[in-house]
Structure 1
């Protein structure tokens, strides 16, 4: 949202000499998120992960498989998010306060990658096996291909952000990496990772995940605000056809995640199986749909209510109470009415 005493300008733009003066701030939400992100700065080795080795040693093969599977997915995909930011977002955003936040986010994604490397260094996990899984396991590879399909277009082509289709491509990329990857797929994995702490296992690993989720909640908040800002400033984007495309992207992502979770926990572990995780995925997807202005699709209630004491999505990512915006939450979906 632009301030009342500033001329109307778009958050999108590619001029190198534009956006070089931080003050006055035009998008307070971006500046506030940057300051929150700076305050959240942490380093992986501040956590004594080695204290979890005894727990890891007495876990079942299925439980160790789940941790390895999560590392196989998270490690490369944190770096994939950085590519999405570098190629598909940063070059097309013109507000310096947004650039500040995006620079901090890129550092955080690198820090998350190093956090997961710390897990691989500490636990007796076969690194080669873990690295290979993200291309060898079909369900994991399918998720990565989904993301790469959007990010490749951003990396291999230069968007004409002044055109309607260029702006749509920008929004598509935002939805792919932010709403789907960070807002659904990552949160599904976070819930599984934190489920071990529920059984008094891997408590320090759980603390590491807590810190990562704290960062990711801001990433998600920034991405949703950016989508809504682009829609507010470019209302011609919100056609029924484009709304249907965005909604279908999210529904397709749920189907991919459901298959991934069946491979993550083929036989289940104590207190957790793929049916339980996938209900949580559908619950998350409904929240993301609502935040973009759509009606819910699945109707699942939150099966992991214990997350409310740790990292409940609705508590961490409360976009429209803490942030003063003029956005219409249903900017996309109203075109369907």
Structure 2
């Protein structure tokens, strides 16, 4: 298949219709009327996103400052490493959301991605905020260097880096779809072993301010993941030539690889944390992967992990196991039942 590079969407083209003809590579005037968009239910997704507005400095970190020194050496080390991980992942998400919006010809997608980008910027600021609340500037800077120096973290992020940069270099529909796969993995799985660590501390009445902030981020990421999964399905629906066995296998292979690397990372960063069962953590990662695959319209890879093995997390995460019927499922439930053989053929 020849590579067709997409042009960036025009800002204003009054000769085109207000309702976009496609989410990417289509035509639209650039005028957004929320009552006249191609996928009307996306307005509700937009409303949920803006309803989540918050700022990092609204969270009182006084107790965390007092408690940080009483954490074990392993807990303090893991705290800094996990913040380093989260900042490494959230920073690029701001840019990636903006890049996707530049090529989106549907103005509703542009607006939703603008909100997502703003929220990712808040997330990244919040990591600076919590670190500045509990450690010195030198320790803050060292934590933010982990994404550049730690060999396990570098290995874990290698495939993300490659795909995100491939999209920058070659903005094709194929690369947009693959970038959305990794964005879904980030929003729906990669963050979650880190989230679990902070919820574990809160369960022991430690660093509750940090866990409160993480729960706000978690709530945002759930909405981001839900929208990216829908955008992936809509893009594939509008570009049936991309609906191939090769793409299906690519998605499954990269999910498997990502799960393996996330488990490797969690074993590395959580190994010395008393009270976290690493086998349970691995099952939780597979559960999250299954959940994202279902949202994207694919079959589960880990049928033995369809239930959340860490149910105590529900007390800390907003609507953690919540599922909503979306526009696509209302039209057809075939998406969630596709097999490895037929891939996206039912989309």
TM (norm. structure 2) is 0.84
8 Å CA contact 2:59–2:209 kept in 1: the answer is yes
8 Å CA contact 1:191–1:307 kept in 2: the answer is yes
**Unpaired stretches in structure 1, ≥5 consecutive residues:** 1-5, 160-165
**Unpaired stretches in structure 2, ≥5 consecutive residues:** 1-17, 343-347
CA RMSD of aligned residues (A): 2.4
How far apart, in 1, do the equivalents of 2:233 and 2:225 lie?
A: 12
The equivalent of 1:117 in structure 2 is 128
Flag the 1:115–1:28 CA change in 2: closer, same or farther, 3 A.
Answer: same
Flag the 1:128–1:7 CA change in 2: closer, same or farther, 3 A.
Answer: closer
The equivalent of 2:14 in structure 1 is none
| Higher RCO (C-alpha 8 Å, min separation 6) | 1
After alignment, is 306-315 or 143-152 more displaced?
306-315
- Give the aligned length: 320
Post-superposition offset of 1:73: 0.9
Are 2:74 and 1:68 aligned?
no
Flag the 1:26–1:123 CA change in 2: closer, same or farther, 3 A.
Answer: same
Q: Which of 164, 183, 201 is the matching residue for 1:151?
A: 164
Q: Which of 298, 302, 311 is the matching residue for 1:305?
A: 311
Flag the 1:168–1:329 CA change in 2: closer, same or farther, 3 A.
Answer: farther
TM (norm. structure 1) is 0.87
Flag the 1:101–1:180 CA change in 2: closer, same or farther, 3 A.
Answer: same
How far apart, in 1, do the equivalents of 2:328 and 2:215 lie?
A: 23
The equivalent of 1:3 in structure 2 is none
Flag the 1:335–1:12 CA change in 2: closer, same or farther, 3 A.
Answer: farther
Flag the 1:319–1:245 CA change in 2: closer, same or farther, 3 A.
Answer: farther
How far apart, in 2, do the equivalents of 1:323 and 1:49 lie?
A: 42
How far apart, in 1, do the equivalents of 2:257 and 2:151 lie?
A: 16
8 Å CA contact 2:189–2:289 kept in 1: the answer is yes
8 Å CA contact 2:219–2:318 kept in 1: the answer is no
The equivalent of 1:215 in structure 2 is 220
Post-superposition offset of 1:215: 1.0
Over residues 26-50 of structure 1, what are the superposed CA-to-partner deviations in whole Å (9 max), with x where a residue is unaligned? 2223221221122211111111012
Are 2:266 and 1:261 aligned?
yes
